[in-house]
Amino acid sequence: MSGEVTSTKKRFLGLGLPYVDQEHLLGRLIVIEGSDGVGRSTQIRMLRNWLEVQGAGVVETGWTRSQLMSHTIDLAKEGHKMNNVTFNLLYATDFADRLEHELIPALRAGFIVLADRYVYTAFARARVRDTATKWLQNLYGFALQPDLVLYLKARVDTIVNRILASGELDYWEAGMDQNPGFDPYDSLMRYQRKLLREFGKLAKENNFHLINANRNIESIQLDLRRAIATHLGWTLTDDVLLPNEMAGGAPALATA
Amino acid sequence: MQQLTNPHEYPGKLIVVEGIDGSGKSTQAFLLQQWLQSKGLRVFFTEWNSSLLVKSTTKQAKKKNRLTPTTFSLLHCTDFADRLMYRVIPPLKAGMIVIADRYAFTAFARDSARGVEPQWVRQLYSFAIKPDIAFYFRVPVDISLARISSARAQLKYYEAGMDTGLSKDINECFRLFQGEVIRQYDLMTPEFGLQVMDATETIDVQQKRVRAIAQEMLADYHPDGNNRKQTRAREGGSHV
C-alpha cells in the first residue's frame, strides 16, 4: 500500500536527549548523503514531489540551515576564524537546533523527513581533518538514528566536474584549510578523494544503501524511489515508482 | 582528549573560580588577582561568555528563548573552546597566571541540571585543560538569591532556569534550578578535586584562605626561571 508510513521506534546514535520523548516519533527519517556536486538537491526535490503524490507528508532539512546558527557559521567561514573544535561545535549546535525545532516535531507529526546530508557529513569531514573522531561521535550522540541512509556514490572526476561547473568553488569546498600552498584545483581533487574514502568507510560501518550516482538524473531517481518504497513496504509497481515527471504524462493520483 | 583529568604541561598556572550566581566568586577572583599582581606576577583574567564568535548568537537566541538544553550547552561549549584557544592557552604558554571566572565545571553543573546527559557534557569538554586549582564557592540558594536581589532589580530568564519550566514563579524557579546546580557541583567535587570554600563566610576570611591555597600551589611556579626551556620543549605538541 503506498502513501502509508508506519512508525518505527527511534534510537539515538549515542547518549541522547534524556528530556525528549522518543516513543511517539511516528514519521521516518530518510537521509541522503553524498559528496558536494553529486546532485543531492535535485534528487531530493524530485523525491519530495513523488512522495507527496503518494500521499505522504514530507519535510526537508539541510545541513546548515537553522535560523539560530547559519549567520554565525557564514561569518566564521568568511574569517576562517575557526579551529577544528569550534568548527565542529558550530555545526553541531546548528544541527541540534534543527533536530529539536524541526526534525523531532515533524517526526512526531508523522512526516517523512528528507535530510540533505546528516551527521555522517560531519564525521567524514572531521576524519579528513584528523579531528578526534571519538570526541565527535560523542558530540553527535544526541542525533537520531536515521531509518534509512541513501548514499549517492560517484567517482571523484564526476564530483569535481560538477563542483567546477556549478561555479561554487570556494576556500572550504576546495579544502584549502588543509592544503595550504596548494592550487585550488589540486586541493579540491585531493580533498574530495579523501572525503570519498572516508564516506566509503562510513557506508560500510553504518549500512548505507548505495546508489550509483555516475548515471543520469532519472536513473538515480528511480533507484532512490525503489529503495524508499521498499523500505516503507510499498508495492513496487510502475504506478508507485513512476508518477509525475518521470511517467512522461500528467501526475498520477495516489492510489492505495 | 582526556586533558581535563591530566595535569597540563604549560609553564603558567590556571586558577578557576566556580559557584552559582551570587556566590561571591567574582569578588574573590578579583581580590586574588590584585594580590598576585601586587607581588609582581603577570596575571590574565578571563570570564565566561566573552568570545566574539558566538556572542551575538547567544544574545539573540536568549532573547527569543529559542535555546533547548542541548543547544544551550553546545553554544556555551563553542564559546568556551574559542576562549580556551585564544584567551587561556596562549597566556599559559607564556608562563602567566590565568584566572578564569567560571570554567567547564559551570557547564557540567548547569547543563546537567537542565537535563542533558552528565556524561555527554563531560565528553564534550574533554579538550579542556585541567586547572591547577579550582575553587568552588559553595553558598545556600537563599543567600545567593538575597545577594542578587540586592544588587539588581530582576533575575535573568536562563539564570533562574525558567526554560526548564520547574516553576512559573521566577524566584521559586531560581531556587529549584540553582538547588539542582548546587547538587551537581557537590557530585563533581570529589570527581574533579574542587576546592570547596564556605561562601557564607565574610569576604576577607574567604580571601585569606584563597590566598593561602594559591600560595601553596604556586610554590613550584617560577615565571622567569626555566619557562623558556619548558616552552621550547612543548612547541611541537598540540592540544586538540
Tell me the β-bridge partners of A12. A144
The pLDDT of residue B238 is above 50: no
This prediction's pTM: 0.81
Q: Is A133 on the interface with B (CB under 8 A)?
A: no
Asked if residues B46 and B88 have their Cβ atoms less than 8 Å apart, the reply is yes
Please report, as a single letter, which amino acid is at residue A47. Answer: L
Residue scoring higher pLDDT (A129 or B139): B139
Q: Which of helix, strand or coil describes residue B25?
A: helix
Nearest CA in chain A to B80: A86
* Complete domains list, chain A, with CATH: 28-233 (3.40.50.300)
- B232 Cβ partners below 8 Å, 6+ apart? none
The residue assigned the cell 525558567 is B162
Whether B71 sits inside 8 A of A100 (CB atoms) is: yes
A96 contacts on B by Cβ (under 8 Å): 68, 70-71, 74
Whether A96 sits inside 8 A of B66 (CB atoms) is: no
Whether A135 sits inside 8 A of B123 (CB atoms) is: yes
Interface test mutation site (partner A, options B1, B55, B71, max chain A beta carbons within 10 A): B71
Tell me the β-bridge partners of A115. A31, A61
C-alpha of A109 from chain center: 21
Mean pLDDT of chain B: 87
Q: Is A64 on the interface with B (CB under 8 A)?
A: no
Q: Catalogue the long-range contacts made by B28-37 (C-beta closer than 8 Å, 24 or more residues apart).
A: B28/B135, B28/B137, B28/B197, B28/B203, B28/B206, B28/B207, B28/B210, B29/B99, B29/B101, B31/B203, B31/B207, B31/B210, B32/B99, B32/B207, B32/B210, B32/B211, B32/B214, B33/B99, B35/B207, B35/B211, B36/B97, B36/B214
Nearest CA in chain A to B82: A86
Q: Which of helix, strand or coil describes residue B198?
A: strand
How is chain B split into domains, by residue range? 13-216
Residues in chain A, how many? 256
Q: Which of helix, strand or coil describes residue B104?
A: helix
Whether A15 sits inside 8 A of B54 (CB atoms) is: no
Whether B74 sits inside 8 A of A19 (CB atoms) is: no
Chain A 7-26, residues with CB within 8 Å of chain B CB atoms: 14-19
Q: Comparing C-alpha atoms, which of B76, B163, B160, B75 is closest to residue B115?
A: B163
Average pLDDT of span B11-17: 97
Q: Could you say which DSSP state residue B73 is in?
A: H
A76 contacts on B by Cβ (under 8 Å): 53
The pLDDT of residue B228 is above 60: no
Whether B126 sits inside 8 A of A141 (CB atoms) is: no
ipTM of the complex, rounded to two decimals: 0.78
Q: Is B126 on the interface with A (CB under 8 A)?
A: yes
Structure confidence at residue A179 (pLDDT)? 83
Q: CATH assignment of B13-216?
A: 3.40.50.300
Whether B74 sits inside 8 A of A96 (CB atoms) is: yes
The pLDDT of residue B104 is above 90: yes
Regions in chain A scoring below 70 on pLDDT: 1-3, 7, 64-83, 131, 243-256
Structure confidence at residue B224 (pLDDT)? 66
A131 contacts on B by Cβ (under 8 Å): 240
Tell me the three cell numbers of residue A209.
544503501
Q: Is A105 on the interface with B (CB under 8 A)?
A: no
Q: Is B217 on the interface with A (CB under 8 A)?
A: no
Whether B57 sits inside 8 A of A69 (CB atoms) is: yes
Structure confidence at residue A128 (pLDDT)? 86
C-alpha of B157 from chain center: 20
The pLDDT of residue B151 is above 50: yes
Q: A49-72, pLDDT tens digit by residue?
A: 999 999 999 999 987 655 666 666
A141 contacts on B by Cβ (under 8 Å): 117, 120
Q: A35-49, A127-141, B114-128, B192-206 — which is least confidently predicted? A: A127-141
Compute the distance between CA of residue A152 and CA of residue A209 in angstroms, rounded to an integer. 9
